[in-house]
A = this chain, B = another copy of it.
């Protein structure tokens, strides 16, 4: 009874392509052909093999494939440390695209500013022979990174606030238009003295958002004195500091557009500690629609950009060659952001 040569094998280790070949009575190459739908083969043979695969629950070994193919099925996500929700939404979008493919997502936070950052990324790409990487803002704006990817032969997609160059390597939201819409909203409410809390210098997103703001003001014939523009760093604390400086102005702005929600939350925080009521005495608009925007009081009017969809699109761009998509599923490179109206905007007091 217990004499069978290898009865427990099935339960223990995973079947290999050789097992399948033996069970189906063919060579492993033929099994390979079935798996990869390559070459021509008899319908009966295919069905036979597919049946065996099904009943054994065979799954090809990704490592062996990667070795034989010379590339693997790993998509990297390289990011600095913007807000957590953004990164997670991006991960979600990418993973949605990767679902039911052979790809997996590998994450790699890096430290912009660190002199080893480029080497760090290079070794990440080279060592793992990544199939492709998604570069998140703000490091996606670093051209040296894109060149690095080209250099090591790794596909890449950059996420951003505007199409920098090659749309093949770029997925962007049109922040400028969204900011214009947001600013027009403030103007339509009657605001004229509107403060801006900008993003850090050198960031494309910061520049684009500021441009949109200034455009909308100019369009309405409103002058923007330099004093109404405060520098921010996209952080909560910098939002507080910038708000303080704007609050010191005489007269105070009746509305503030902060280039992201973190800073907008800082404005709200600063306003509360000064006893300035929002939105009665001060209207605020943020950008990003992070969870915090809906959780503070009053909830912040803000701009939402479709992060998940953009992540999905980025991933599809990367693996598009590997798993051809129908023309109607062609991934767009530019996404539109929308204004989310909540409770932090009202007409100015007087």
Contact surface of A with B, Cβ cutoff 8 Å: 14, 59, 61-64, 66-67, 72, 74, 84-85, 87-88, 91-92, 95, 104-109, 123, 126-129, 236, 262, 265-266, 268-269, 272-273, 291-292, 294-298
Contact = CB atoms under 8 A, between A and B. Distances in A.
Contacts of A107: 91, 95, 105-107
A288 B117 CA distance: 31
14 contacts: A59-B123, A59-B126, A63-B63, A67-B67, A84-B84, A84-B291, A85-B85, A87-B88, A95-B107, A105-B107, A262-B295, A268-B297, A292-B295, A297-B297
Contacts of A66: 63
A292 B107 CA distance: 24
A72 to B, nearest CB: 6
Nearest to A86: B84
B14 A126 contact: yes
Nearest to A120: B99
A129 B73 CA distance: 13
Contact of A61 (B67, B74, B95): B67
B84 A128 contact: no
Q: How many copies does the complex hold?
A: 2
A219 to B, nearest CB: 33
A92 B109 contact: yes
Contacts of A236: 291, 294-295
Contacts of A64: 67
A298 B88 CA distance: 27
Given A273-B297, A296-B295, A128 B104 contact: yes
A184 to B, nearest CB: 28
A42 to B, nearest CB: 28
Pairs of residues from A and B, 10 with the lowest C-beta to C-beta distance, nearest first: A63-B66, A272-B297, A84-B84, A84-B88, A84-B85, A63-B67, A265-B295, A104-B106, A63-B63, A59-B127
Most chain B Cβ neighbours within 10 Å, of A95, A123, A236, A265: A265
A269 B291 CA distance: 13
Contact of A128 (B62, B87, B262, B269): B62
Nearest to A105: B107
Contacts of A127: 59, 62
Given A14-B126, A87-B88, 5 more contacts: A59-B123, A62-B129, A105-B106, A262-B295, A266-B295
